[in-house]
Amino acid sequence: MSIPSFGAGTFRLTGQTVIDSVRNALDVGYRAIDTAQIYGNEAEVGQAVAQSGIQRGDLFLTTKIWTDNYAKDKLVPSLRASLDKLRTDYVDLTLIHWPAPGNGIALSETLAALAEAKALGLTRQIGISNFNIALTRQAIELLGKGEIATNQIELSPYLQNRKLAAFLKEQGITVTSYMTLAYGKVLKDPVLAAIAARHQATVAQVALAWALQLGYAVIPSSTKRENLASNLLARDLKLDAGDMAQIAALERNGREVDPQGLAPEWD
């Protein structure tokens, strides 16, 4: 199993905006696109991918199952509907979007349905999102060692999630960092700005390079073609030990997303 280290996110992008964003991302070199059922943009993502002319085998598409579809009789049909919208026979990765501990459906039921989706060939890999250590342990027990490709979690210089990230590394589960720029808040950080100036880079590139050097996958989004192209250059930026230490000191437990009823008790 492998997760691309760099992809384009589509959270909060809809309509023509997401079509343009995905088209531009693919134009400038992205080959991984992340969406979700709840984003309401799978059809537009599928349209942009189809119009790109890029062969399906050269792309890595991720979607996430929404909480309404966690029951065993809903998950697979909902994923089939997602595939129709995305204009593809399969996705490369399907995630459980939130633990949603209060929704009345046992994790065992949801993960069994997710495993069924993989067995049916609807998704090449499966994983989780926003799971804490305890829930990830449960998921490993239910699915088996090596079955969980990634845990997609909020992670940025302001929310470094070291305990969870270390656990995932021990288990061989890739960390996918979302909101790596903390809704843009880190772009104004003076420490990051000074590091960026030293490297003749942008602050966004520094934040993304930091995550990449820690071994995380990143999925930043942008509506601007120039920013999409610029962000990709983070792959070539090498931060030194001093840079990494300075960024490590920025931890402030600055969580941006914590939906009541969906989120677990965070580590």
Query: Tokens 């720029």 belong to which residue?
Result: 181
Distance spanning both ends of the chain, measured CA to CA: 26
CA distance 202 to 207: 9
Cβ atoms within 10 Å of 51's Cβ, excluding its own = 13
Using only the alpha carbons of the chain, give its radius of gyration. Answer: 18
90 is catalytic: no
CA distance 64 to 98: 9
Distance of CA 238 to the CA centre of its chain: 22
C-alpha distances out from residue 156 to 68, 103, 142, 148, 208, Å: 28, 28, 29, 22, 9
Active-site pick, 39, 70, 178, 216: 39
Catalytic residues: 39
